[in-house]
Structure formats: C-alpha cells, structure tokens
Amino acid sequence: MLNPAAGHGRASREWPQVEALLRASGTSFSLIRESTRERALARLRALPPGPVVAVGGDGTAGALLPALAAGQRPLALVPLGTGNDFAGWLGLHGLGCLPDLLAGRAQARRLDLLRVQWQGPQGSGERLLMNGLGMGFDAQLTAALPRAPGWLPGQARYLWAALGTLAQMRLHQGAVRVDGQVLSSGPTCLCAVMNGTRYGGGFLISPESDPADGRLNVVVGQSLSRARLPAMMLKVAQGRHLAAAQVVHATGQTAAVTWQEPAWLHLDGDVVGEVTSLQAEVLPGALTLLGPARSG
C-alpha cells in the first residue's frame, strides 16, 4: 500500500527503494496506489488475506484498519510520512521492519485499537484508530499544519501551527468521562484520547500510554490561558505535563466526551470537523503488527 501523498511526497520519492527490496527478495506482491483512503481500502478488501505493508505515515496505516482489525491481515509499517508517531513509538524508521519481514524474521505482536464514534453539526461517524485523537486546541492546530512551510521538520511544523493558532484558541465547556466516571467538567482547552504515546511529530501527549495494555488513556488540558500554552507545549514535547495543575488524566476501557458548543476533532492527525459528543472504546489486541526481529 503506497500513499503517494504521505510525507509531502516522501513516500513516492522513496518507493523505488522499497520496490527494489521487494523484487530482490523474490516476494510476489500487489501494489495498491490510490489517491484516496477510501479507494485504497476498497482495493485491499478485494485482495486475499496476507501481510500488508503500509508505505506512508500513520494516516496511511490508519485508513486500512477496517481490513486489518481482528487479525485478518498482519500489518508492517514503512514509516515515510510526516510525523510517523506510532511508528516512532515502535522505534521504526526508514524501511521499518521490511528487511526482517522479507527475510522471514519479523515478529508479530498484538496491539490494541480504538473504536471511535462521534456526533456533530455535520453529522455522525465511526472510525478505528491506531494512535489517538484530539479535540479543541490540538485539533485546531492540526488543521493549520498543511499551511506550515514544507521545509520545517515534524515538531517544528507543529510549533509553527500552534503559535499561528493561539489567537483563535478558545475554551470549550465540556464533560469528559472515563469508564463512566467524571474526569473533568467545565472549561476545557483540549482533550486527547490515546492508544499511542505521541502525536504531532513527537509531542508526548500521553507518556503513560501502552498500546498493548488493553486500555486507552485520556489527557485533558482544562482552563489553560493563551499566555501559558506555549510553556505547556514545551512540557508536552518532553512528556512532563501530566503533573501540571491544569492537566488531568486517566486510563480505562471507554471514554465519553460532550461539548456544549462544537469543538474541532482530529483522528490520527486527520481533521474531520466539529463535534458535540464522542465515545471511544479500546479493542484489546485487535491489530497484529509485524515488527523487527528481537535480539536475544
């Protein structure tokens, strides 16, 4: 699966190297190269079961989840996107575990997925997620990311978008529940529901997440002021924000969020619009991920 748009064209540029490796190994494969996630998923669903190699970023792999969940097809990541946050958590770079996969040495591990449903002024939806979602300020700045200069690396792009979005930041009145218990209620700057630890090219929004623990993690930034946000973002970059006074967090199996007024939502870095409510549940071990051979 090649997403030509991933990494601002990086996946396309580096595809010949991936293809050469596949051909040199004598592996037979079908190349799916489509312009939208929906068409790519439809092509994959038409193929017989077998390992899937996602050449692109987290969004490329995320788009395929409905055809991968429940162990139907194991997934290998070749992280050539912009942020590559989920792959980064796994310690994967460049060609990922492809050389090990082709040599028959890749190791399979079961990881959790999130199933998310949302409702908003533009309608409702449902999606499976590998990494996580954000509502409020972090979704607003994710929407601004495509306007960031292409030469900026991952985290710098995120900071650029954050500073540009600060003036539009507003607090939303909301309620966040984890396993039915109220975690936060009142003015809210952002709310993240995570399976992985990081987003935005390395921001450790949920440093305590473990995608294999059968649980999701929720992090809420409450009434943070514009003046305090940049300093808080620097803390998030290092994963040192959970102890801050305006931050609450919890772990559980389900999360439910309601907003009095619509708040922006991103799903694995894809901004889907404004929502008034959202429910998330963890699907333990729903994804079989192929990783590098472990030494020892």
Ligand X SMILES: Nc1ncnc2c1ncn2[C@@H]1O[C@H](COP(=O)(O)OP(=O)(O)OP(=O)(O)O)[C@@H](O)[C@H]1O
Residues forming contacts to ligand X in the complex (CB under 6 A) are: 1, 3, 5-7, 34-37, 40, 56-60, 63, 81-84, 269-270
Q: Do residues 277 and 172 lie in contact, with contact meaning Cβ atoms separated by under 8 Å? A: no
Sign of CA dihedral 197, 199, 202, 203: negative
The Cα–Cα gap between 63 and 36 comes to 9
Q: To the nearest whole angstrom, how small is the minimum distance from the Cβ of residue 198 to ligand X?
A: 11
The Cα–Cα gap between 125 and 82 comes to 25
- Please name the helix (run of DSSP H) or strand (run of DSSP E) that holds residue 58, with its range, or none: helix 58-63
Q: To the nearest whole angstrom, how small is the minimum distance from the Cβ of residue 120 to ligand X?
A: 18
Residue 119, token pair as written in the block: 């409702």
Question: For ligand X, which is the closer residue by CB, 19 or 179?
Answer: 19
The DSSP bridge pattern shows strands 132-136 and 75-79 to be: unpaired
Q: To the nearest whole angstrom, how small is the minimum distance from the Cβ of residue 2 to ligand X?
A: 7
Question: For ligand X, which is the closer residue by CB, 81 or 132?
Answer: 81
Question: For ligand X, which is the closer residue by CB, 198 or 241?
Answer: 198
Sign of CA dihedral 201, 202, 204, 208: positive
Cα of 182 vs its chain's centroid, Å: 25
Question: For ligand X, which is the closer residue by CB, 32 or 257?
Answer: 32
Q: To the nearest whole angstrom, how small is the minimum distance from the Cβ of residue 33 to ligand X?
A: 7
Question: For ligand X, which is the closer residue by CB, 5 or 229?
Answer: 5
Beta-carbon count within 10 A of 124 CB: 10
Q: To the nearest whole angstrom, how small is the minimum distance from the Cβ of residue 102 to ligand X?
A: 21
Q: To the nearest whole angstrom, how small is the minimum distance from the Cβ of residue 252 to ligand X?
A: 26
Q: Do residues 78 and 294 lie in contact, with contact meaning Cβ atoms separated by under 8 Å? A: no
- Three-state DSSP at 232 gives helix
Sign of CA dihedral 138, 233, 91, 94: positive
The Cα–Cα gap between 56 and 76 comes to 11
Question: For ligand X, which is the closer residue by CB, 12 or 222?
Answer: 12
Question: For ligand X, which is the closer residue by CB, 61 or 190?
Answer: 61
Backbone φ and ψ for 166, nearest 5 degrees, come out as -55, -40
Question: For ligand X, which is the closer residue by CB, 59 or 174?
Answer: 59
Q: Do residues 232 and 200 lie in contact, with contact meaning Cβ atoms separated by under 8 Å? A: no
Q: To the nearest whole angstrom, how small is the minimum distance from the Cβ of residue 233 to ligand X?
A: 17
The DSSP bridge pattern shows strands 172-178 and 254-267 to be: antiparallel
Q: To the nearest whole angstrom, how small is the minimum distance from the Cβ of residue 295 to ligand X?
A: 27
